[in-house]
Amino acid sequence: MPDALLAPADRELLVLRTLRNCGGEYEWTHHVRQAPGRGLDTDGVRLARDGAHDDGSREALLVLAADDLHSEHTLSAQTWQRLEKHLSHAEILELVVLVGFIRVFALVGNALCLPLEPCMQERVDRPWPVEVKPE
């Protein structure tokens, strides 16, 4: 996304957490493969998969924001105030829109029961892998 405001690693963390929250395993597996190229390491993928302990980090806050949007369908006032310390209003808007779009993709993949391609099934530990083995 050349015009994106959020850093690629932040976007990927939000995407993966949203897919995990929505049960979008098909999309998850493909995004895990792309995560290193977007600056998200295995620890970041693990954070997206397992959720965040609120340690005050930016990454934990992004996970908590994705969780707010998933469970409450909005950002709590507290989350919004905390996000404002790290992000511009335009970046917060991008975060909300991104999470919404990814929810739609997860819904479609889940409704269609998309199976993993055979080549991917052989390269991941399931469910919810944190990395994809090289081809």
Per-residue pLDDT tens over the stretch 43-53 = 999 999 999 88
Per-residue confidence band for 120, with pLDDT thresholds at 50, 70 and 90: confident
Every domain of the chain and the residues it spans: 8-121
Quote the CA–CA distance of 47 and 45 in Å, as a whole number: 5
Q: pTM for the whole thing? A: 0.93
Instruction: Name which of 9, 10, 2 is nearest 88 in CA terms.
Output: 10
Show the tokens assigned to 30.
């493909």
CA geometry: angle 98, 7, 25, nearest 5 deg? 50
Query: What are the pLDDT digits (tens) for 69-79?
Result: 999 999 999 99
Show the tokens assigned to 74.
């909005």
CATH superfamily of 8-121: AhpD-like (1.20.1290.10)
